[in-house]
Structure 1
Amino acid sequence: MMAGLLSQPFVFIDLETTGGSAPVDRIIEIGLKTVVDGDVVDEWESLVNPEKTIPPFIEDYTGISNSMVQDAPLFADISEVFKSKLEGAVFVAHNARFDYSFVKSEFRRLSVPFSAKVLCTVKLSRQLYPQYTKHNMDALIARHNLPAGPRHRAMGDVDSMLAFFRHSIEELGSDLVEDVIGKILKRPSLPSYLPADVLDELPQTYGVYRFYGENDVLLYVGKANNIYQRVMSHFMSDHSTAKGVVMSQSVRRIEWTETAGELGALLLELQQIKTLKPLHNKRSRSVSSPFSYTLEADKYGYFSLKLVQDVDPSCLDQYYGLFKSHKIAEKAIQGINGANELCAKLLGLDRGKGPCFQYKLGRCKGACLAEEDVTRYNLRMQIAMHSLQLKKWPYAGAIAVKERNDFSGKEAIHLIYAWVHLGTVNNDQELDEFNVSDHVQLRQSASRLFDADAYRVMVRFLLTPKRHFEVIEVG
C-alpha cells in the first residue's frame, strides 16, 4: 500500500489526433488506465469519429484510417463516460500539455468545463533522470528496457508510460518519485481576479502574451518560446523581484498571439512594446536616438573617439556601441580603458592640458605625447573597441526569413532590410505581391533610419549559430 500522493488516482492517458493543433484538429482515439496504489483499477479505450478527414500522414503514423473511425462514436457520445473517468484524478500523459489541450478543446466545443491536475511524464523523466538528454517515449523504452506496446496507438503508449512510472518507483524509491511529482503538480499562485483554469488555455508554442490590469490598462508585453511556461513563471511563488510580484498580482486579464517561430515573436513583441507602451516594459521608454562612438584620426594620426547620436545604417561597422545616455557611454569606455591602458585624452575621458592622467599613473604608453608608435596604438585601439563594433548588414539587399512551426502548422515570412523589419506575410504568394523596393525606399527616406532595439533583435537572431530558418534574398 502506497502512502500520500501516490495513493490517489492517476489516470494514464494517451490520445491520437488528426494533427497538432487542438483548436483545429480532433481526437481519433483515446486510451486510459486508472492506477491507485500502483494497481490498475480501470481501463478504457475507444476510437472516436473526428468529424473530419484524417490526413494521410496521420494514417501512416498511427495506423488509424478514415474507414476505422467512420462508424466510431463522436466525442459528444462518449464525453460523459470519459469525463467521469477523469474526475478527481491526476491527468498523466507524455508531453501532457498536448493531450490535455485536446481534451480541453473537445469539452469546450460541448460547453462543458474541465480542469485537472496534470503530470507530464517527460517532465518526470527529466527530474528523475537529469543525466540524460532525451526523454521521448522511444528513448525511455530503450534506456530502461521497458516493454513496448504498439507505438503511436493510444493504449500501447499508455502501457509504456505506466511501465516507466512503475520502473521509476522501483529503481529510485516511492519517496523520491512522490517528492518530484509533488513539485511538478504544484500550481502557481494566481491572482484572485484570474479564472482558476486560465493557464490551461495557454498554448505551448512561440508567441507574445499581454497582461492587462484594472480598467484594462496594459501592464506588460512579453515574448515566449513557450507561452504557457513563460506566463506560468510570472505567477510562481519564488518570483525573483518585488516589482515582479506586484505586477503579477495586478493582472486581471491575459491575451496572447501565437507566431510561427522565435523571430516572429521577437518582432511582434518589439512592435507592440513600442506602439502600445505597456506600463512595466523598460523598452517602451527606450531612447529613439542612442549614443554611439566613431573612430577618427587626430592631427598626428592617432585614433580618438567621437561621441555621436546620428547613426547611418549604411555603414554600421564604423560605429561602436549603442548607449542610452552620454553617462552610460562614458562608463563603458572607462571599462575598456581599464583593461587596455589606452590614452584617456584620445578616449575623451580627460579634457585637461598636458599628458593624460593615465600617463602620470604609468597606464598610458604616451599616445597623448606622440611617444607611442601610432600604428601600434591604433591597432590596440581597434582591438579594444572590436567587441562594441556594430554589424554591417551582410546582404546585398532585402531578405525574406521563412519560419514554420511544424507542430501548429503556422507559417510566416519576414521581410528585413538593413536590420529593419519591413513587414511579414503568410505565404509565397503574398511574398510575390509584397513590393520590397517601395518599403526600402520608404525606410531610406524616413527621418529616423536606425532603430537600436530592432538592430539588437535582428543581430541576436540572424547571426546566432545553429538557428534553423530559411533566408531568401529578395532585392
Structure 2
Amino acid sequence: MPEPMHDTTFAFIDLETTGGNAAWDRITEIGLRLWRNGEVVDEWQTLVNPETRISPFIQSLTGISDSMVADAPVFAQVGEMLREKLQGAVFVAHNARFDYGFVKGEFRRLQEVFSARVLCTVKLSRLLYPQHHRHGMDALIARHGLVSVERHRAMGDVQSMQAFFELARAEHGDESFSAALKKLLRTPSVPSHLESEMLATVPSVPGVYRFYGENDALLYVGKSVNIHNRVSSHFSGDHNSGRGVRMSQSLRRVEWTETAGELGALLLELKQIKNLNPIYNQRSRAAKRLLSIALEPDANGYLRARLAWEFDPLQLGQYFGLFRAKREALKALTGIAQKNELCNRLLGLEPPGEGPCFQRRLGRCQGACEGLEDVTRYNLRMQIAFHNLRLKTWPWPGMVGASERNPKSGRTDIHVIYNWLHVTTVQSGAELQAIEGAGHTITLDADSYKLIMKALLKPAPGLEIFPLPGELGTPEVLLPED
C-alpha cells in the first residue's frame, strides 16, 4: 500500500464481548463504520447473541444484558455480512489485537479463515504523540477534547476512534500522517498480485506446504491439519516478525502435498526439511552423526556412563538418549548427576583419578568414587536415574503399517515403519504388497524416533497400527555418517 490514505477504505470497528479471552468468550455487539477519502461511506451496527450467559459485571460495564441479545442473530448469521463489509479494508480498532483476535476466533469456530491489514489506534497515538504516557480511549477523549460518546458500546467507541483519526490527520498533515500509517501497516503479506490467487487454490486438507522465492529457491516447509488455514495465517496482520516480513517479501509461489492426516504431515515435513534444507527452517536439520550413552560396569562393578558414537540401531534398548552433539549428551549427564547425587567421575564428567571426586568434596556424591557406597545400591540409583532416557526396543517382529484415513476426502495413507523409522508411505493394500523391505535402507534419526515412538505407543483416534507380513522383509537400518 504505497499511499496509505489514497482510496484506501478504513473500517473503524469495535466489539463488545462477554469477556477478555477470544478462546472462550464471545462477541455481543459489533459497531462498524467505513471511511474513505475523508468521508463515511457505510455504517453498520448489530447486537450478537453470544450463545452463552453474560456475567453481571459485563452487563454492568456495557449495558448489554442477556435479554437484549436473546433475539439477536448469532455470529454465524452475521459473519458473511461482516466479511463483505471488511473486504479489502484496513481493520482499525483501539487495542486492535483484542478486536481482531475475537473476529478471527469467531470465523475460526465456523471453520473459516479471516485476515486483514490491521491498524491499532493505540499504536497510532503512541507514534504521533510520544510525549504522552496514556493512550486509552478515555485519555484520548479528554486530551484531545473529542465529543463525548456512550463508552463501552460498540458504535460509541467507533465514533471516538474516527474522531481521533481525523484530528490526528489534521494536526500532522497528510504527508506525515500517511508516513505513520505506512509504518504501522508494514506487515508481512505476500505480494498483492499473488495473495488472492494463491490462497484461493490452497485446499483445506491435512498436508505439507512449501514456499518458493526468486529462482525457485525453497524458503520454508510447514505442515498443518488444514494447510489453507495455516498458509493464510502467514499473511495475516498479526504475524509481524522480521523473519516473517523477509520471507513474505521473497515469496513467489506456494506448493503443497496432501496427506490423509496429521502423522503423514509430520513425517513428510520432517523428511523435506532434512532433505531439501529450506532457508527459513531452523529446526529438524539432519544430524551428521548421532551419539548415545551406554552404561557398563567397571572393574569394581560400578556402572559407568560412556558416550557411544558407534552402536547397533537394532539394539536401542541397551542405550540411553539420542543426541546430535557431544555437548547435548554432557548437558544431560550433568543434569542427571545434580538431580540424583551420582558420581561425576563415574558419569565421565571428571577425568579418572584417585580419591574423592569434586562433587564428593561438595557433598553432592554419596561416595562411589571412593568405594564407600554399596555397589548394588549405586547401580540401582543409576538405573532409576537413566530410566526415562532408555531408548525403546522395537516391540514388533518386523515392519508395521500405521493407517490413517481422511473421512472428508476419502484419502488413506499407510505409513510403513520399522524400528521407529519411517520406511515409506503407500495409499493402498496393493502398493503395500509390492513393498520389498529388504530393498530399503533407512538411517536412524533422532527426530523421527521421537515422533514415531509417540505416535505408535499412544495412537491418536483413527490411527490403526498393524504388523506387516514377514515375507515383506525388513529394511537395513544405518547410523548417520560423518
Shift of 1:304: 0.9
| Count of residue pairs the alignment pairs up | 330
CA deviation map 1:125-160 (0-9, x unaligned) = x949x9x9x9689xxxxxxxxxxxxxxxxxxxxxxx
8 Å CA contact retained: 1:194, 1:251 = no
Shift of 1:264: 1.0
Shift of 1:466: 4.4
Shift of 1:176: 11
Map of 1:470 onto structure 2: 464
Kindly report which structure 2 residues correspond to 1:287-302, keeping only aligned pairs within 5 A, or say none: 287-302=287-302
3-state SS of paired residue (1:413): strand
8 Å CA contact retained: 1:193, 1:251 = no
Task: Note closer, same or farther for the CA distance 1:425–1:369 as it changes in structure 2 (3 Å cut).
Answer: same
3-state SS of paired residue (1:424): strand
CA distance in 2, matches of 1:116, 1:201: 19
CA distance in 2, matches of 1:322, 1:135: 40
CA distance in 1, matches of 2:187, 2:208: 20
Letter in 2 for 1:347: L
CA distance in 1, matches of 2:212, 2:410: 29
Task: Note closer, same or farther for the CA distance 1:284–1:278 as it changes in structure 2 (3 Å cut).
Answer: farther
CA deviation map 1:405-442 (0-9, x unaligned) = 112222111111111222211122332x323xx31x23
8 Å CA contact retained: 1:342, 1:381 = yes
Identical counterparts, % of pairs: 45
> Is it true that 1:196 corresponds to 2:195 in the alignment?
yes
Shift of 1:177: 12
Kindly report which structure 2 residues correspond to 1:271-350, keeping only aligned pairs within 5 A, or say none: 271-283=271-283, 285-350=285-350
Shift of 1:211: 0.9
Shift of 1:96: 8.6
8 Å CA contact retained: 2:357, 2:369 = yes
Map of 2:53 onto structure 1: none
CA distance in 2, matches of 1:297, 1:220: 47
Shift of 1:386: 1.8
Letter in 2 for 1:278: P
CA distance in 1, matches of 2:186, 2:244: 18
8 Å CA contact retained: 1:193, 1:252 = no
Letter in 2 for 1:248: S
Question: Of 439, 443, 448, which aligns to 1:442?
Answer: 439
Q: Bigger shift: 400-409 or 244-253? A: 244-253
Shift of 1:465: 5.5
Task: Note closer, same or farther for the CA distance 1:270–1:95 as it changes in structure 2 (3 Å cut).
Answer: farther
Letter in 2 for 1:407: K
8 Å CA contact retained: 1:336, 1:384 = yes
8 Å CA contact retained: 2:402, 2:466 = yes
CA distance in 2, matches of 1:358, 1:388: 23
CA distance in 1, matches of 2:265, 2:418: 18
Map of 1:400 onto structure 2: 401
CA distance in 2, matches of 1:298, 1:177: 76
Q: Bigger shift: 407-416 or 452-461? A: 452-461
Map of 2:213 onto structure 1: 213
Task: Note closer, same or farther for the CA distance 1:251–1:449 as it changes in structure 2 (3 Å cut).
Answer: closer
8 Å CA contact retained: 1:398, 1:415 = yes
CA deviation map 1:258-306 (0-9, x unaligned) = 1100111112112222322222223564213211101111111111111
CA distance in 2, matches of 1:302, 1:347: 11
Shift of 1:399: 1.0
Q: Tell me the TM-score normalised to structure 2 length.
A: 0.59
Map of 1:27 onto structure 2: none
3-state SS of paired residue (1:270): helix
Letter in 1 for 2:366: K
Map of 2:454 onto structure 1: 460
Kindly report which structure 2 residues correspond to 1:90-169, keeping only aligned pairs within 5 A, or say none: 127=102
CA distance in 2, matches of 1:351, 1:211: 49
3-state SS of paired residue (2:314): helix
Q: Superposition RMSD on alpha carbons, in Å?
A: 4.1
8 Å CA contact retained: 1:277, 1:284 = no
Q: Bigger shift: 413-422 or 455-464? A: 455-464
CA deviation map 1:146-200 (0-9, x unaligned) = xxxxxxxxxxxxxxxxxxxxxxxxxx9646999xxxxxxx997413266131333
Task: Note closer, same or farther for the CA distance 1:375–1:236 as it changes in structure 2 (3 Å cut).
Answer: farther
8 Å CA contact retained: 1:208, 1:258 = yes
Kindly report which structure 2 residues correspond to 1:375-414, keeping only aligned pairs within 5 A, or say none: 375-414=376-415
Q: Which runs of 5+ in 1 are unaligned?
A: 10-34, 40-91, 101-114, 138-171, 179-185
Task: Note closer, same or farther for the CA distance 1:236–1:397 as it changes in structure 2 (3 Å cut).
Answer: same
CA distance in 2, matches of 1:7, 1:237: 19
CA distance in 2, matches of 1:136, 1:403: 25
Letter in 2 for 1:382: Q
CA distance in 2, matches of 1:467, 1:298: 47
CA distance in 2, matches of 1:273, 1:95: 42
Letter in 2 for 1:457: L
Map of 1:67 onto structure 2: none
CA distance in 1, matches of 2:189, 2:294: 50
CA distance in 2, matches of 1:417, 1:96: 48
Letter in 2 for 1:474: L
CA distance in 2, matches of 1:94, 1:372: 73
CA deviation map 1:311-344 (0-9, x unaligned) = 4232212111111111221112112211111000
Shift of 1:225: 1.9
CA distance in 2, matches of 1:383, 1:176: 64
Task: Note closer, same or farther for the CA distance 1:308–1:244 as it changes in structure 2 (3 Å cut).
Answer: farther
Shift of 1:209: 0.6
8 Å CA contact retained: 1:343, 1:367 = yes
3-state SS of paired residue (1:379): helix
3-state SS of paired residue (1:376): helix
